[in-house]
Amino acid sequence: MIQSQVITKYLIFQETLVRGGKTRKFFVSSAHDGELLATVHFRPTWRCYVALMEKNIEWSNDCLQDLKGFIRDLQAEYKERL
């Protein structure tokens, strides 16, 4: 199970409370300076977790790989609960 806070080399994923929600939501910040980069949340119509990026944020391949891996793990956790 994914913890309420996950720190990778480049990113910090911090869970936030969702009222009455059955799924989880995370703020994604830079591990370097703490700047908010994105929000990861569940998109019910697509039945999967997605990332909503902040405007004018540049992403390196390594950061995107961290984000992709995190969403992949969240999605796997969601499917296990079905």
Per-residue HEC secondary structure of the chain comes to CCCCEEECCCEEEEEECCCCCCCCEEEEEECCCCCEEEEEEEECCCCEEEEEECCCCCCCHHHHHHHHHHHHHHHHHHHHHC
pTM: 0.92
**Tens digit of pLDDT for each residue in 22-39?**
889 999 999 999 999 999
Report pLDDT for 27.
98
Where in the chain are the domains? Answer: 5-81
**Tens digit of pLDDT for each residue in 39-66?**
999 999 999 999 999 999 999 999 999 9
Report pLDDT for 17.
85
